[in-house]
Amino acid sequence: MSTIGTNPTIQGSRVALVTGGSGGIGRAVVERLADDGFALGVHYAGNQAKADETVAAVKAAGGRAIAIGGDVADEGAMSAAFDAVEAEFGGIDVVVNTAGIMLLSPIATLDLADLDRIYRTNIRGTVVISQQAARRVRPGGAIINFSTSVTRTQFPGYGAYVASKAAVESITLILARELRGKDVTVNAVAPGPTATALFLNGKDEATITNLAAAVPLERLGQPTDIAETVAFLAGPARWVNGQVIFTNGGLA
């Protein structure tokens, strides 16, 4: 965090809203964009303390940030969240939607209540955030959604989660084309196995070791690895649009 705000090319000039920005990949994205001089809206769903901690870290390093809460699938709450960021910083240039849930089960025994929870957050939430972003992101900006590399690997147990992320990819690619002429890029990042609490939860050591070994680089990804791809899409990647970027160390 020591380099926050030191990139002279965009220092102090851009604003980003990161959903799920209080932990895991979301926090790494917040810190990376802060390094590039972005002012940040740090969204949280339920853990305000973690969001406040993230905001405090950005501010301590000389950056600008506010915490904003709400359910990403609630259009009223998210409209208010976007309003708060615009009121604080004057507009929004980049929206990064990392918020999501992952509940694993074989399809044959899937609890349909879990299916509804996954779809509400991952699909409806993506639509709600994409609607607000499409209406508000300034020209020259970017909308970045999150998928998963398991849409390619088809790991057993991931059926409902992967179905939701396949929907995210479709929403993303269509929105990119619907925003023709707006000078706003729309892309999705699809991480591979990444060492976050969300990914590691419920997995034994052997499973984690096998997943790391499946990657040609022979390690799990780190949240900072994913954040680098987001920073690329949020900044210099103006000719990358309507794409799903698989950031997974070469996982097939």
- Reported as half-sphere exposure (CB side, CA atoms, 13 A), residue 64 has a value of 14
CA 147 to chain centre: 9
CA pair distance 26, 218, nearest whole angstrom: 24
CA distance linking residue 93 with residue 141, whole number of Å: 5
Q: Confirm if 171 and 163 have CB atoms less than 8 A apart.
A: no
Q: Catalytic residue among 44, 119, 158, 161, which?
A: 161
Rounded distance between C-alpha atoms, residue 146 and residue 5, angstroms:
25
Active site residue 161: yes
Give the Cα separation of 194 and 53 in Å (integer). Answer: 22
Name the residue among 92, 166, 177 with its Cα closest to residue 129: 92
Strand pairing class (39-44; 15-19): parallel
- Which residues are tagged catalytic? 161
